[in-house]
Amino acid sequence: MEKKDEKKENREIRYKNRMRIARTIAEAGAISKNEIGVRLGLSMPTVLQCVKELKEDGIVMESGEYGSTGGRKAKVLSIAGDAGFAAGMDITKSHIAFVLVNLNKELVKKARIRLPFSKEYSYYEGMGDWLRVFLEQSGEGKEKILGVGISLPGIVDQGEKLLVSSQALGVENMSFKQFERIAGYPCQVESDVNGAAYAEFYGEGRDGVYLALDDTVEGAVFMDGALYGGDSRKGARFGHMKLERDGRRCRCGGRGCVDAYCSSQALLGEDPGLEVFFKKAEAGEQGYKARLDEYLEYVAAASVNLRMAFGCDVVLGGKAGKYLKGFRRELDRKVEKYDQLDLDLSFLRIGKCQPEMSAYGAALKLVDGFFGEGL
């Protein structure tokens, strides 16, 4: 009995060492065996054996050599990106965005299709059909797909694979367990703002707050390398912080919420689209510049409030966020007016704001999980 227990314990130790080594290689991008041993405090025989097994499994490869220091040149180890892939899907009211991410966290394929959202079973079938087409076109075998990360606009229950509520889609308690059966792959669900925030902050090594200026204002908090959701995943609802007492009516039923002043819809009003609006504002057309100036005032106030509360970087993203790069000077002036405690305004950043950010973040979490649990 003791020998069996000892063998089991040794297998578990070897598995954990493999997992730690693979994760270290993934985080470093390129690294030598000696450096792995130093970073993890492992003996060289242990490193050599684990690396050998990881190479045999096709997860790790030799990607070059370091310069000679007089002896044998050390091999450069890196992750074999094509050893596995994660798919990401971002669900919106009218479209689905697809991405494919390899083990090196590189976005290798993306697509966007029109599929109006529906609560009917046929919608799940349509999602599954388009996912199969997307993956078939990638040319990668089914055995290489780690799973599918699904980004959803609203509050989600990850454990139950449930979209708890979504103002954008007008739905409550919509389960994605049946889609997992249709897709034939393990699926994870994540809110779209959390997906975008994960993609924005991953690998930076510092905390940050993400403010998504979309049709509705959403938020996310990235702390200690992970997303913080609060009790019941209902934290970071920055869109419903108050900016004005008895102010504009918000869709939540209250008044003066950030959402009523900082969402892209609050800015647009009856105008057809953000691109047209910002072009007219940049040209100084009557009315547009004034509306943008008021909008930036409220965005600045909300950003400073978040800075005061969390004391870390604040990143502006979402549909409207990407257009603010051209108005950074005006935004900084307003931030400076509200923030009398910080001389350095670099805490406020404009995000990458790529259309596929949420889907990429959802897929990235699967890849990250592979190196934490899947080896």
Residues 234 and 327 in one domain: yes
Q: Detail the DSSP E strand segments found in 229-357.
A: 313-317, 348-350
pTM of the predicted model, to two decimals? 0.88
3-state secondary structure (DSSP) of residue 173: strand
Kind and range of the H or E run holding 222 = strand 217-223
Residues 244 and 297 occupy one common structural domain: yes
CB–CB of 327/150 below 8 Å? no
Percent of the chain at pLDDT above 70?
A: 96
Per mean pLDDT, which range of 193-207, 219-233, 350-364 is the poorest? 219-233
CATH number of residue 232's parent domain:
3.30.420.40
What CATH number corresponds to the domain at position 48?
Answer: 1.10.10.10
For residues 65 and 95, state if they share a domain.
Answer: no
Q: Rounded CA gap, 327 and 125, in Å?
A: 43
What is the number of structural domains in the chain? 3
Are residues 102 and 172 both part of a single domain? yes
184 and 225 in a common domain: no
pLDDT one-digit tens code per residue, 105-147:
999 999 999 999 999 999 999 999 999 999 999 999 999 999 9
For residues 252 and 332, state if they share a domain: yes
Which of 61, 79, 97 is the last residue in one of the domains? 79
Q: Is the dihedral of CA 273, 275, 278, 283 positive or negative?
A: negative
Sheet with 155-157: list strands edge to edge: 155-157, 162-166, 171-175
Picking from 79, 113, 141, the residue at the C-terminal end of a domain is 79
* Host domain of residue 184: 83-197+356-373
335/229 same-domain check: yes
Name which of 92-106, 120-134, 293-307, 343-357 the model is least confident about: 343-357
The pair of structure tokens assigned to 262 is 């900082």
Give percent above pLDDT 90 in the chain: 74
| CA 133 to chain CA centroid, nearest Å | 24
Query: pLDDT category, 86, cuts 50, 70, 90?
Result: very high
Distance, in Å, from the CA atom of 148 to the CA atom of 360, rounded to the nearest integer, reads 11
Indicate whether 220 and 325 sit together in one domain.
Answer: yes
